């Protein structure tokens, strides 16, 4: 026998697999299905043809399922419709008064009765919606523009620009909204109009929006998309208006929506104090002020404009809470 035959026989005598096969007891057999027969590939697969989602799309999907948003949206749509088309609800002139009907009870076409001057309370409540809602929306828009721009420049450029703008903001923030509005309106009592109230409320109401905008811009400017845009040759101002500010608007919109009700109440308070809109302008605050003298004898004259004011403010506050929950998932309650 040759040496090659001995080596071959020794190799054949060794087991093919030195590791012993596991012992499988009866009833413990395992069967692994092929991958093509399992739904795992369908679960892990990604639909590349599906459109990309965004924060605003996710927020809208959340809002549509939020009962608070649905109720507030229905109320706001109704309020805006009343403000735009008051003649759909009443044909009565709100400034037409008949002393012979002073404090008369409700009648056909006049469901709220008459006030002390003989004016139709229902007509004045309906037409007062336009004044209050106009002041609230216009003030909110101006505050949004002024506060966002000042806060964006302060947070983006930092340095001495941030220091100067922040100190100016601190000065205006130290002045209460109503107190500052009263002082300015007392100084300029020559004429009163809706725009005058709007400008005065904007003068002292932009500070909270500025603070939110400044913080959001300071956070967004350090993210990767700003660095990538700068590397591609984009200018700082282009980065600010094209990329940073759109990504910082979520918290700003939440604050603005919630503040809208505050401006409506402020206008009503100023009119109640007699330093807001003139008496010829129909407003809820003016009607509440006129009705306080007959509160004990005819409380319903004051009740209707007060309820309209409360419902309007409550609707915008609920809308702000719903938008806050949709745009900020961390604030959602379990």
Residue 38 covered by a domain: no
Q: Which residue has the higher pLDDT, 297 or 307?
A: 307
Predicted TM-score (pTM) above 0.85? no
151 in Cβ contact with 209 (< 8 Å): yes
| Residue 15 to residue 32: CA distance in whole angstroms | 27
Three-class DSSP category at 233: coil
Q: What letter does residue 329 receive in the DSSP assignment?
A: G
Residue 22 covered by a domain: no
Q: What is the DSSP string of 285-305?
A: HHHHHHHGGGTTT-THHHHHH
| Residue 89 to residue 304: CA distance in whole angstroms | 15
Range of the domain at 206: 55-331
Residue 5 covered by a domain: no
pLDDT (0 to 100) of residue 40: 56
User: Residue 259 — pLDDT band, cuts 50, 70, 90?
Assistant: confident
Residue 164 covered by a domain: yes
Question: Highest mean pLDDT: which of 20-29, 101-110, 142-151, 250-259?
Answer: 142-151
Average pLDDT over the chain, rounded to whole?
Answer: 82
Number of domains in the chain: 1
Question: Highest mean pLDDT: which of 12-26, 48-62, 94-108?
Answer: 94-108
Which residues neighbour 82 within 8 Å (Cβ) at sequence distance 6 or greater? 89, 126, 129, 130
Mean pLDDT of 7-22: 50
- Please give the share of the chain, as a percent, with pLDDT higher than 70: 81
How far apart, in Å, are the Cα atoms of 269 and each of 65, 96, 122, 259? 35, 24, 21, 15
Q: What is the DSSP string of 15-80?
A: -S-SSPPPPPPTT-------GGGSTHHHHH---TTSPPP-HHHHHHHHHHT-HHHHHHHHHHHHHH
Residue 103 covered by a domain: yes
Residue 26 covered by a domain: no
Residue 303 covered by a domain: yes
Question: What are the tens digits of pLDDT across the range 275-300?
Answer: 888 878 888 988 888 888 888 888 88
With tokens 């709220």, the residue in question is: 112
User: Residue 228 — pLDDT band, cuts 50, 70, 90?
Assistant: confident
Q: Which residue has the higher pLDDT, 252 or 223?
A: 252
Residue 44 covered by a domain: no
**Token pair for 79:** 């309020």
User: Could you tell me which of 137, 146, 143 has the C-alpha nearest to residue 194?
Assistant: 137
244 in Cβ contact with 226 (< 8 Å): yes
Provide the CATH number for the domain around residue 295. 1.10.3720.10
Q: Which residue has the higher pLDDT, 316 or 232?
A: 316
| Residue 1 to residue 183: CA distance in whole angstroms | 122
pLDDT (0 to 100) of residue 42: 57
């Amino acid at each position: 026998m040759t040496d090659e035959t001995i080596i071959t026989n020794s190799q054949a005598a060794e087991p093919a697999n030195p590791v012993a096969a596991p012992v499988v007891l009866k009833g413990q057999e395992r069967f692994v299905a092929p991958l093509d027969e399992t739904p795992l590939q369908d679960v892990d697969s990604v639909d590349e043809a599906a459109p990309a989602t965004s924060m605003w799309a996710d927020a809208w999907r959340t809002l549509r399922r939020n009962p608070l948003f649905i109720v507030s949206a229905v109320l706001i749509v109704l309020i805006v419709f009343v403000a735009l088309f008051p003649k759909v609800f009443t044909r009565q002139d709100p400034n037409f008064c008949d002393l012979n009907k002073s404090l008369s009870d409700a009648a056909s076409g006049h469901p709220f009765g008459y006030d002390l001057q003989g004016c139709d309370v229902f007509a004045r409540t309906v037409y007062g919606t336009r004044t209050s809602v106009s002041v609230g929306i216009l003030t909110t828009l101006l505050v949004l523009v002024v506060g966002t721009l000042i806060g964006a420049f302060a947070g983006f450029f930092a340095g001495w620009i941030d220091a100067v703008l922040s100190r100016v903001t601190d000065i205006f923030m130290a002045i209460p909204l109503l107190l500052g509005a009263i002082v300015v309106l007392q100084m300029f009592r020559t004429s009163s109009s809706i725009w005058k109230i709007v400008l005065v409320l904007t003068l002292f109401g932009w500070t909270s929006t500025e603070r939110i905008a400044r913080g959001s811009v300071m956070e967004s400017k350090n993210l990767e998309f700003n660095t990538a845009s700068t590397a591609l040759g984009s200018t700082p101002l282009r980065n600010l208006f094209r990329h940073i500010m759109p990504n910082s608007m979520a918290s700003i919109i939440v604050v603005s929506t919630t503040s809208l009700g505050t401006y409506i109440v402020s206008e009503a308070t100023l009119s109640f104090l007699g330093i807001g809109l003139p008496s010829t302008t129909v407003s809820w605050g003016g009607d509440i002020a006129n009705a306080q003298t007959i509160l004990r004898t005819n409380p319903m004259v004051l009740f209707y404009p007060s309820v309209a004011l409360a419902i309007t403010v409550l609707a915008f506050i609920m809308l702000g809470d719903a938008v806050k929950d949709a745009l900020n998932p961390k604030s959602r309650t379990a």
